[in-house]
Each structure stands twice: as structure tokens, then as C-alpha cells.
């Protein structure tokens, strides 16, 4: 397990001063360029989730979309996206929030969330937690039971975890 986590750590490239001065951007796509690291990532997530008895996996726009479906194929469970506003048709509920650098509104197709569905939310990275808080809100409004938030990377220094009120599992942490 620790070897797999080290593979991920080695594959993530850090870019100082992107997208603006003072921010160190941790780039998940290094993992996707390296098939061994990508498999390790999938294994670590699936091993962790298997015993949680999940009914639904929700991924966040946009990099959560790369992760959710890989996991769903292994679990045999459905995937549902949360998207930035104006992209999803049908009955949507929305919630506005603040990002580490900017603002956004999230939407979900609320009719596809079954009442009480045991749900995990997956994304590439937890920073301030603003996106996750908004996602949790949307899922609760839709009647889901959010079991856990799962990210590949956690920027621990920003203390996003403390805002969620729901367990967080991350694979690689940075201060």
C-alpha cells in the first residue's frame, strides 16, 4: 500500500505560481501519464471503498469525471456527475460556492438520486473544501446519504477537511 502511495506521490508534478503567484499547483495528470501509477490509484481507491457498501458514486466537474467511472466499473455501481451550472439538462438543483481562486455554482440532476442512497463523492483534490461542501449540500437536498468524500490529493494546510462534517479519505497529502 505504501509503495502504491509513493508511486502516486512521484507521479504528481508540482508547478509553483500556477494559476497565480503564490499557489503551488499539484497536477493529477502526471498519474494519468503513467499507467503503473494509474493502476495503483485505482487499486487504492477500490480497496478502500469495497467494504463501504456504496450505492452511488458522484464525481465533481471536471477532474472528478476521470476518477468516478473507473471506480464504478469495478464496483458495479452507477456514476452521477455534479457540473458547473448551465451544463446539465432536466431537473437540477444548484448551489453557489467560493473556490481557492474564484467562484462557481454546482448543479446535480436531482431526480437520479434515490432517497437514502449511500453515496461517495470523488474528486481529484481537496483544497479549501468549498467544492465538497457545495456537493454535500446538493446531495443532501436530493435525499442522498453521503458516506464519505474521497480525493487523490489533499492540501492539508487549507483545512478543507474541517468544513465538511463528513469523513474524508485522501491518498496523498501536501501541507
By DSSP bridging, strand 102-109 and strand 92-99 are antiparallel
Place of cell 431526480: 111
Q: Does 100 help bind ligand HPA (rule: CB under 6 A)?
A: yes
Terminal C-alpha separation, the chain:
21
Closest CA to 95 of 130, 146, 127, 57: 130
The rounded distance, in Å, linking the Cα atoms of 26 and 152 is: 11
How far does Cα 21 stand from its chain's mean position?
A: 25
Q: Does 145 help bind ligand HPA (rule: CB under 6 A)?
A: no
Q: Closest approach of Cβ 88 to ligand PRP, in Å? A: 14
Q: Closest approach of Cβ 90 to ligand PRP, in Å? A: 21
Residue among 63, 74, 118, 145 flagged as catalytic: 63
Element (H, E) at 38: helix 35-49
Q: Does 25 help bind ligand HPA (rule: CB under 6 A)?
A: yes
CA angle (106, 112, 116) in 5-degree steps: 95
Cell of 73: 466499473
Q: Closest approach of Cβ 113 to ligand HPA, in Å? A: 25
Q: Closest approach of Cβ 101 to ligand PRP, in Å? A: 8
Size of the site for ligand PRP (CB under 6 A): 16
100 is catalytic: yes
DSSP 8-state secondary structure symbol assigned to residue 159: -
Phi, psi of 58 (to 5 degrees): -115, 130
Report the residue number, 27 or 74, with the smaller CB distance to ligand HPA: 27
Binding track over 57-86 against ligand HPA, x by CB under 6 A: ------------------------------
Q: Does 26 help bind ligand HPA (rule: CB under 6 A)?
A: yes
Active site (catalytic) residues: 63, 100
Question: What are the residues binding ligand HPA (CB under 6 A)?
Answer: 25-26, 100, 125, 127
Interacting residue ranges for ligand PRP, rule: CB under 6 A: 60-63, 99-100, 123-131, 160
Amino acid at each position: 500500500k505504501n509503495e502504491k502511495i509513493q508511486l502516486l506521490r512521484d507521479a504528481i508534478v508540482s508547478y509553483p505560481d500556477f494559476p497565480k503567484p503564490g499557489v503551488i499547483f499539484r497536477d493529477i495528470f502526471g498519474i494519468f501519464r503513467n499507467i503503473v501509477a494509474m493502476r495503483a490509484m485505482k487499486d487504492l481507491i477500490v480497496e478502500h471503498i469495497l467494504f463501504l457498501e456504496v450505492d452511488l458514486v458522484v464525481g465533481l466537474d471536471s477532474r472528478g469525471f476521470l476518477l468516478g467511472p473507473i471506480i464504478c466499473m469495478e464496483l458495479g455501481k452507477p456514476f452521477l456527475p455534479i457540473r458547473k451550472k448551465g451544463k446539465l439538462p432536466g431537473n437540477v438543483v444548484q448551489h453557489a460556492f467560493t473556490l481557492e481562486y474564484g467562484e462557481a455554482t454546482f448543479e446535480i440532476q436531482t431526480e437520479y438520486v434515490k432517497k437514502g442512497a449511500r453515496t461517495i463523492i470523488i474528486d481529484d483534490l481537496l483544497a479549501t473544501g468549498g467544492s465538497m461542501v457545495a456537493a454535500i449540500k446538493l446531495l443532501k437536498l436530493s435525499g442522498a446519504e453521503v458516506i464519505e468524500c474521497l480525493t487523490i490529493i489533499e492540501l492539508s494546510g487549507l483545512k478543507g477537511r474541517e468544513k465538511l462534517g463528513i469523513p474524508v479519505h485522501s491518498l496523498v497529502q501536501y501541507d
